[in-house]
Structure 1
Amino acid sequence: MTAAPTRTAIVTGAARGIGRAIALSLAQQGHAIALVDLREKDLAQTAQEVAALGVDAMPIMADTSDYEAARRHVADVAARWGRIDVLVNNAAVPQPRRILEITEAEWDSGMAVNLKGYFNWSQAVAPVMLAAGGGRMINISSVSANTGPRIFSVSRFAYSTAKAGILGMTRALARELAPTIVVNAVCPGAIETERTRANLGTHLDHVIRETPLARLGTAEDIAVVVTFLATATPMYMTGEVIDVDGGANIN
């Protein structure tokens, strides 16, 4: 067991994109980071970037849908650092199939990562946080949990269904784990990636015009909100859902 860092976090889906940005942002705040992903090369690169910020990086090659693997890896993290302060459930897989196209196997595999994976890691981490007297959980959902997929969305109805389930899970966990553990969710809107730009195509200008902040979001836009939820003190929010979408879905 290495010397215990002051603060620690687990980020799933941390190899690239939003997960990578979150891991780096938390590392900049002094958190040692356990990075969970299946993309070995990207995972190693992000772990190097985290370590370069002067904190301990623990890359974990794992499929978040594997229940027993989650328990093993959480035990390893707790043994290495003696504590887990933050869990960010972010790992997800796209699912572009529509209701009349998707197979049962595709539905099951998507749900296994996009919803069950969040359960796996939350259940594994909760006892560690409870024993330590506190912690923060942040679940990355999607604005499509409330709106359904838009015409330009990368993923369709099964993905939106799972993301809506995450919001229910967030509220349930917030009640069950209070007052010891704070649980909140973040819903990204249209976030700029190569896939998003390709999928938007001719809709890009329309999406930007319909977004009050007049641009696509970035991974860093999500990371700054997650970091707030993970670090702000005092924290008098739990069970809340924050849309980070440039105002595109103002109620």
Structure 2
Amino acid sequence: MSKVAVVTGGARGIGRGCAHALAERGFDLVLVDLLAPEMARTRGELEGMGVRCLTFEADVADHARAKAIAAEVEAQWGRCDVLVNNAGKANPKGILDCTEEEFDRTIAINLKSCFNYIQAFVPLMRKGGGGRIVSMSSLNAHTGGVTSAVSKFSYAAAKAGIIGMTRSLAKELGPEIAINCVCPGIIETEVGNSLTKSRGPELAKKIALGRVGKPADVARVVAFLAAEQPNFITGQDIKIDGFQWEI
């Protein structure tokens, strides 16, 4: 039976890129997202690549829903080998403008969702002998929300939390499960398009490789961490930014 990978926020952008990269390596895919039409499109693309795909329309901040999805995946396919925690939400507001509700929602979507899906799927991974987890942090976790960033302090705080969670869980879940996170810089996605379209050439001048990133740049690294054998990498946060200095 094919291995199974779960991708949250898999309907579009980096999540869609990760799903494609894993499908190319023979994984069947489980997509979780709120964007039903985009998710249906991505499912069609994946099935066209010859792999199976399950989709779940869900708010990743919902802990009970994560547990229910894991139970359904176990019932239908009986395994989970890879979990990619990709779902995220931007928040461009500063400290004096951000409401408590907006702060809580940013933390819930970006950080609590990782807790939800890791706790839900680790038991299934262990039943199969182990697995890999890759969570989506951000360069902002290291730099803070700089002036041009799509998101500011609350997003940076949530993404920094993912790094701390990753390091701690690498110790707790090893050796059966390896867990890492990646920290993309400026990537051309639906969320970041307004920035990359308006300032693309300017931003590229401040990136060593001379361009902004694409979802495939991130997806290749995620697929390597998820699929390559053997693997002696865990507890790491890997920057994928073309070497970007502060913008």
Shorter-chain TM-score: which interval?
Answer: over 0.9
On the 8 A contact 1:152/1:200 being kept in 2, the answer is: no
- Indicate the residue corresponding to 1:98 in structure 2: 94
1:177-226 alpha-carbon deviations (Å, 9 max, x no partner): 00000000111000013543423576433321111100000000000000
Mind listing any 5+ residue stretches in structure 1 that lack a counterpart?
Answer: none
Which residues in structure 2 correspond to 1:174-185 (within 5 Å)?
174-185=170-181
**Which one of 68, 92, 105 corresponds to residue 72 of structure 1?**
68
- Indicate the residue corresponding to 1:191 in structure 2: 187
1:132 and 2:116 matched: no
1:227 and 2:223 matched: yes
Count, aligned residues:
246
Residue 71 of structure 1: how far off its partner (Å): 0.2
User: SS in structure 2 opposite 1:30?
Assistant: coil
- Indicate the residue corresponding to 1:157 in structure 2: 153
Cα distance in structure 2, aligned partners of 1:203 and 1:11: 30
**Which one of 137, 152, 156 corresponds to residue 141 of structure 1?**
137
Cα distance in structure 2, aligned partners of 1:201 and 1:236: 38
Cα distance in structure 2, aligned partners of 1:16 and 1:206: 26
- Indicate the residue corresponding to 1:25 in structure 2: 21
TM-score, normalization by structure 1: 0.95
User: SS in structure 1 opposite 2:54?
Assistant: strand
On the 8 A contact 2:10/2:19 being kept in 1, the answer is: yes
Which residues in structure 2 correspond to 1:200-211 (within 5 Å)?
203-211=199-207
- Indicate the residue corresponding to 2:32 in structure 1: 36
Residue 247 of structure 1: how far off its partner (Å): 1.3
1:60 and 2:56 matched: yes
Cα distance in structure 2, aligned partners of 1:112 and 1:60: 18
Cα distance in structure 2, aligned partners of 1:197 and 1:84: 33
Q: Which amino acid aligns with 2:172?
A: E
1:91-122 alpha-carbon deviations (Å, 9 max, x no partner): 01111110010000111111111110110000
Cα distance in structure 2, aligned partners of 1:172 and 1:130: 18
On the 8 A contact 1:197/1:204 being kept in 2, the answer is: no
Q: Which amino acid aligns with 1:137?
A: I
User: SS in structure 2 opposite 1:15?
Assistant: coil
Structure 1 residues 194 and 59, CA gap change in structure 2 (3 angstroms): closer
Cα distance in structure 1, aligned partners of 2:6 and 2:245: 29
Structure 1 residues 62 and 195, CA gap change in structure 2 (3 angstroms): closer
Cα distance in structure 1, aligned partners of 2:187 and 2:37: 23
Structure 1 residues 47 and 137, CA gap change in structure 2 (3 angstroms): same
Residue 152 of structure 1: how far off its partner (Å): 1.1
1:214 and 2:210 matched: yes
**CA-atom RMSD in angstroms:** 1.4
User: SS in structure 2 opposite 1:213?
Assistant: coil
- Indicate the residue corresponding to 1:240 in structure 2: 236
On the 8 A contact 1:149/1:160 being kept in 2, the answer is: yes
Structure 1 residues 155 and 197, CA gap change in structure 2 (3 angstroms): same
Residue 236 of structure 1: how far off its partner (Å): 0.4
